[in-house]
Amino acid sequence: MSSLQADSSKATLTDTFATRSFRQATEPLPDRSGEPRRPLRRVRRLVVKLGTRVLVDERGAERAGRLRAIARSVSKLQGGGVDVIVVSSGAVGLGTGLLGLVGAAPDDESKRACAAVGQAHLLTQYQASFASYGLTTAQVLVTAADLAEDENGLAATIQRLLTSGVVPVVNENDAMSPETVGQNGLGLVPPDQTLRDNDGLAAHVAVSCNSDLLLLLTDVEGVHASDPHGSPGEPVLDRIDDAPALLRRLAPTRERGMSRGGMRSKVAAALFATRGACQVVIASGHRSGVVERVVAGEAIGTFFPSRCMEQEANNTSNQENV
């Protein structure tokens, strides 16, 4: 892996990502080039966001084995005292397959119909997969209006479920949301950092529920030096300390097949979540044991330290220089 602070022999950033370092002089941090990733803070509460391409294949069918593997990981973590909240995409993708619309360009009503059909099927898959490990799941459907009007109420409901030993499975209510057809989006942050999909929802859930770690699982290994779909083999960037600079350099997200999110969406979510005490990792959901391995501190994917970690690093550096 390569760090954003690594020299050009380790990674050469393309014009898409512009400069070699995304840390700007406005908030300088100690140069930690070449150092191993710092261990994650102890994770007591985790939000795992599963992207559509993690759960659904190109035919619009569920990847049942992948969901069972996630359920096994959640069971292990919960047994170790970690609260786990799942934010799940996949409803529209599954519905597209079930209604025979894969490869089509459905209108707005058809997208919502796909969401309604797919959501029921998705919940059934979650119930079966998690029940095989003795876990109960709960469906929590929300819209942007829910977050805007009663985010505390959502957090309280999730807290009660966690206290009861239940795994909350949160999803945007795509059958009712204008965001399903690409309108305003969650829109709870400035327009240049709009969180308009389940990546944004996961960030809001992570912050409102005081999570220690947000893990965004997708179909690529992390943030790459350039688009891995167009340039296979591009190195993964190990750590990003200046998400705003990266966000400014990323092109607007374009829908890819059944997916509405993209790397820009995930970096925007990371920026929102890391403003407090929540750490963020973007990683591939197809890696074996990825959830437990990331929580254990293994250097998988791209790591975004929380603002609290940055302040601690500054304080430590200042003390060492005294």
DSSP string computed for 20-37: S----TTS-----TTPPP
pLDDT average, residue stretch 107-132: 95
Which among 209, 195, 212, 175 is positioned nearest to 43, based on CA atoms? 212
Residue 260 has pLDDT above 80, yes or no: no
87-101, 144-158, 219-233: range with lowest mean pLDDT: 219-233
pLDDT average, residue stretch 73-86: 97
Q: Report DSSP state, residue 42.
A: P
**Distance, CA of 136 to CA of 170 (rounded, Å):** 14
pLDDT average, residue stretch 278-290: 96
Write down the pLDDT at residue 311: 58
* Pairing, β 136-142 against β 302-304: unpaired
Residue 91 has pLDDT above 90, yes or no: yes
Residue 16 has pLDDT above 60, yes or no: no
pLDDT average, residue stretch 290-316: 80
Residue 316 has pLDDT above 70, yes or no: no
| Contacting residues for 208 by C-beta, under 8 A, at least 6 apart | 151, 152, 154, 155
Write down the pLDDT at residue 193: 37
Alpha-helical (H) ranges within the chain are 52-55, 64-79, 91-98, 108-131, 144-163, 198-208, 243-249, 263-273, 290-295, 307-321
CA torsion angle for 243, 214, 259, 148 (degrees, to 10)?
-90
Q: Which pTM value belongs to this model?
A: 0.81
The answer to whether 300 and 287 are in contact (CB under 8 A) is yes
27-36, 243-252, 304-313: range with lowest mean pLDDT: 27-36
pLDDT average, residue stretch 36-47: 77
Write down the pLDDT at residue 143: 84
Write down the pLDDT at residue 309: 62
**Distance, CA of 34 to CA of 32 (rounded, Å):** 6
Write down the pLDDT at residue 224: 83
Q: pLDDT: is 174 or 18 the higher one?
A: 174
pLDDT average, residue stretch 248-266: 68
Read off the tokens for 146: 């829910």
Tokens 């003390």 identify what position?
Answer: 319
Write down the pLDDT at residue 318: 47
> 4: pLDDT confidence band, cut at 50, 70 and 90?
very low
CA dihedral (157, 309, 198, 221) positive or negative: negative
Residue 39 has pLDDT above 70, yes or no: no
Tell me phi and psi for residue 307, to 5 degrees. Answer: -60, -35
pLDDT above 70 as % of the chain: 71
Tokens 């509460």 identify what position?
Answer: 45
For residue 141, the one-letter residue type is: L
**291 SS3 class:** helix
Residue 34 has pLDDT above 60, yes or no: no
All domains in the chain, ordered by first residue: 45-214 (3.40.1160.10)
